[in-house]
Amino acid sequence: MRTGAEMHALVERLYPLCRSITGDGVRATLDIIGEHIPLARHEVPTGTQVFDWTVPPEWNIRDAYVADADGKRVIDFAESNLHVVGYSVPVAATMTLRELRPHLHTLPDRPSWVPYRTSYYAPAWGFCLTQETLDALPEGSYDVRIDSTLADGHLSYGEHVVPGQVDDEVIVSCHVCHPSLANDNLAGIAVAVSLAQALAAGKPWYTYRFLFMPGTIGAITWLARNQHRIERVKHGVVLACAGDRGDLTYKRSRRGDAEIDRVLEHVLAGRPHRIAEFSPYGYDERQFCSPGFDLGVGSLTRTPYAGYPEYHTSADNPDFVSPAAMADTLAVLREACAILDRNRRYTNLSPFGEPQLGKRGLYDSLGGRSDAKQAQMAMLWVLNLADGDHDLLDVTCRSGLEFDAVSAAATALRDAGLVKE
Q: Which residues are near a copy of itself by CB under 8 A?
A: 50-53, 85-86, 115-122, 124, 216, 219-220, 223-224, 227, 254, 277, 279-281, 286-287, 289-294, 305-306, 311-312, 348, 350-356, 358-359, 365-370, 372, 377, 380-381, 383-387, 398-399
Residue 118: CB minimum distance to a copy of itself, A: 4
Q: Which is nearer to a copy of itself, 118 or 194 (CB)?
A: 118
What CA–CA distance (Å, rounded) separates 46 from 261?
36
Q: Which is nearer to a copy of itself, 160 or 286 (CB)?
A: 286
Of 21 and 239, the one with the shorter C-beta distance to a copy of itself is: 21
Instruction: Select 48 or 350, whichever has its Cβ closest to a copy of itself.
Output: 350
Shortest Cβ 328–a copy of itself spacing (Å)? 25
**Nearer to a copy of itself among residue 138 and residue 368 (C-beta):** 368
Max Cα separation, the chain? 94
Closest approach of a copy of itself to the CB of residue 210, in Å: 20
> Nearest CA to 47 among 37, 38, 36, 58?
58
Cβ distance to a copy of itself smaller for residue 263 or 385: 385
Rg over alpha carbons for the chain, rounded to the nearest Å, is 26
Min. distance of Cβ 309 from a copy of itself in angstroms? 9
Nearer to a copy of itself, 334 or 344 (CB): 344
Strands 248-251 and 297-301: antiparallel
CB atoms within 10 A of CB 234: 18
Q: Which of 202, 221, 199, 220 is nearest to 210 (CA)?
A: 199
Q: How far is CA 96 from the centre of its chain?
A: 43
Q: Are 344 and 395 in contact (CB under 8 A)?
A: no
Measured from the CB atom, is 271 or 373 closer to a copy of itself?
A: 373
> Contact 378/409 with Cβ under 8 angstroms?
yes
Residue 43 or 294 with smaller CB distance to a copy of itself: 294
Angle at 151 between CA 149 and CA 155, to 5 degrees: 105
For the residues of 170-203, what is the DSSP string, one character each? EEEEEE---SS-IIIIIHHHHHHHHHHHHHHHS-
Q: Which of 237, 240, 168 is nearest to 207 (CA)?
A: 168
Question: Minimum distance from CB of 266 to a copy of itself (Å)?
Answer: 18
Instruction: State the minimum distance, in angstroms, from the CB of residue 240 to a copy of itself.
Output: 14
Closest CB 106 distance from a copy of itself, rounded Å: 12
Taking the C-alpha atoms of residue 139 and residue 74, their distance in angstroms, rounded to an integer, is 13
Smallest separation, CB 420 to a copy of itself (Å): 14
d(CA 362, CA 357): 5
Burial of 197 (0-12, 13-18, 19+ CB in 10 A): middle
Q: How far apart are CA 383 and CA 159, in angstroms?
A: 40
Q: Which is nearer to a copy of itself, 2 or 373 (CB)?
A: 373
Nearer to a copy of itself by C-beta: 5 or 306? 306
Q: Is residue 126 within 8 Å of 103, Cβ to Cβ?
A: yes
Within 99-254, strands assigned E span 104-105, 127-128, 141-151, 154-162, 169-175, 207-213, 233-239, 248-251
| Least gap, CB of 215 to a copy of itself (angstroms) | 9
State the nearest-atom distance from the C-beta of 278 to a copy of itself, in Å: 8
Q: Compute the least distance from the CB of residue 394 to a copy of itself, in Å.
A: 13
Q: Return phi, psi of residue 348, to 5°.
A: -75, 120
